[in-house]
Amino acid sequence: MLALYLREIRLGIRAGSGAMTGILFFLAVVAVIPFGVGPDLNLLARIGPAVLWIGALLASLLGLDRLFQADREDGSLDLLLMAGSRHMVALTVFTKCLAHWTTAVLPLALITPLLGIFMNVPPGGLAAATLTLLVGTPAITFIGAVGAALTVALPRGGLLVSVLILPLTIPVLIFGVAASRGAVAEPDPFLPPFLLLSALTLFFAVIGPLAAALALRGAAD
């Protein structure tokens, strides 16, 4: 499994453009918001955490469709599935998700504080947004794996993956934004939504790979 993780990380870094495109997309999404709502700094500060979350959510969906498709195109997927009795397929999926998260999504969470400055989010809000993104985005990747596995055989599944996954990510978004808002806005609590967010991530970390493994086995042809 470690071998698989290292290979995926290497691929993620060496193919290069993938992670970079995600970051660029995130930057661009956040940058167009002030044009849409006007440069009022107080307004931006108020919607800042939500914008950061939506931007990160959309950006983290970008490379997901390639998660299994690349392996299918070069035949690796067959071999990964055949090794099922040695390495449980769900575990293989979990490892691939983890590697994808490390190379493509973790950088998004790490540049969030910088983007928060553009949105005039106060320091407490920056820390909260980054923390909630670190905890919450793995859930998106794990849900995404299911969508990616379902559309693995489709030639242009990219958009379909996003359409399938977006409704499922709504709870993650709700609790993520609620927690990061709770850290700055006084009456709203921070801890309850944050704990729920963590629970969601753990839940999808189990359900996602299992469902994706099932879908991959069924998609073989």
For 81-123, give the DSSP string.
HHGGGTS-HHHHHHHHHHHHIIIIIHHHHHHHHHHHHHTT--H
By the 8 A CB rule, do 88 and 216 touch? no
Gyration radius (Cα) of the chain, Å: 18
Distance CA 100, CA 96 (A): 6
Q: Which two tokens stand for residue 118?
A: 């553009």
Indicate which single residue of 9, 84, 113, 162 sits in contact with other proteins (rule: CB under 8 A): 84
Shortest gap between Cβ of 175 and other proteins (angstroms)? 28
Total residues at interface with other proteins (CB under 8 A):
42
> Toward other proteins, which CB reaches closer, 74 or 186?
74
41 binds other proteins (CB under 8 A): yes
How far the first Cα of the chain sits from its last, in Å, is 25
Stretch touching other proteins by CB under 8 A, among 68-76, 143-151, 181-189, 199-207: 68-76
87 binds other proteins (CB under 8 A): yes
> Toward other proteins, which CB reaches closer, 73 or 188?
73
- Ramachandran sector of residue 16 (left: φ over 0; alpha: ψ -120 to 50; beta: rest): left
Distance CA 206, CA 198 (A): 13
Shortest gap between Cβ of 40 and other proteins (angstroms)? 9
For other proteins, what does the binding mask look like between residues 108 and 147, x meaning CB under 8 A?
A: ---------xx-x---------------------------
Distance CA 199, CA 196 (A): 5
Report the interface residues with other proteins, using CB under 8 A: 2-4, 6-7, 10-11, 14-17, 20-21, 23-24, 27-28, 31, 34-35, 39, 41, 44, 73-76, 78-87, 117-118, 120, 220-221
